[in-house]
Amino acid sequence: MPVTDSCSTYALHSDATTDVAELDATEIDIFLEHIDEIDREQRWSARFEATSSQLDGEENEFVAPLVFELGDIRSLLANWAFVQSAMSITDPVRLMLEYTQAMMGFLLFNPSPETVEIIGLGGGSLAKYCHKFLPGTSIRGVDVDWNVIDVADQFCMPPRSDRFEIIWADGSDFVVTDQRSTDILLVDGFDSSGQPPQLCSPDFYRACRARLNANGILVVNLCDHAGKNEPILRRLRECFGRIITISVEVGMNLVVFAFRDERDRFDREKLREAAMILQREHPLPMAGLVEKLLW
């Protein structure tokens, strides 16, 4: 169904009668519950109702990435189970998903990086936020799926410039072949099956560490049951030594911070002080993030 607004798009489903004000503080919860309900319906149909030929037809109807809207929220879906991005149409830079706020926790350790690279651009939530709130930072977004890059303008992406670049490439190849380096490397790459193996291999993590500048930080978003994350966490510890995690209840996300260089013992009180300073300039729950850090 066509939709017309400041970043025009097409959405498979649209609730044009939804009052944005009604969603208010719970809008993202309503949206995620709506997606989850669709996913449950799809699973029920697959198990009890559809024939194999019908299933093939239904699967073919979902062409990822899919732009989906509900009220004020525009999202990018890899399938009904994976929400790649969620954007407020009236406030496109706002970080709506809790895990993206957690990934910005790197600011507690480096509040003004010169460069930030993002593997897995998606709808550009992190890229847009960094572009606006880190005006001295150059941002490079990398995505392997041209169809994702093709819908970038529908998510109000900043115009390409000397400090904002979108690169069509496989993230695992990019970190090896691109000759530049970075202060912060954010890895948030998923496809319709989950996290691709090449983005969580020991070779990939070693390449990420080599790409980081002195005192650089790798930030990885994991999204799976806790037990399934353990092999990846072991690889990260083997490649980096010190890691810190933040668990995000909504979505089963675990955000990992891996530090290129050995650091002194982390002091939570100093991090609380850093959070208070950051919250003067960033609309993020920095103080809350400090309390969730585990090391």
Contact 196, 126 (CB under 8 A): no
| Distance in angstroms (rounded) separating the CA atoms of residues 105 and 113 | 13
Query: What single-letter DSSP state applies at residue 156?
Result: T
According to DSSP, the β-strands at 138-143 and 212-223 are unpaired
Q: In what order do the strands lie in the sheet with 82-88?
A: 66-70, 73-79, 82-88
Annotate 176-197 with b (16+ C-beta within 10 A) or e (fewer): eeeeeebbbbbbbbbbeeebbe
How many alpha carbons fall within 13 Å on the CB side of residue 190?
23
Catalytic residue among 188, 224, 261, 267: 188
| 56: annotated active-site residue | no
Cβ neighbours of residue 72 closer than 8 Å, sequence gap 6 or more: 18, 20, 23, 27, 88, 89, 90
Residue 82 phi, psi (nearest 5) = -120, 110
Q: Which two tokens stand for residue 56?
A: 């093939």
**Residue numbers annotated as active site:** 188
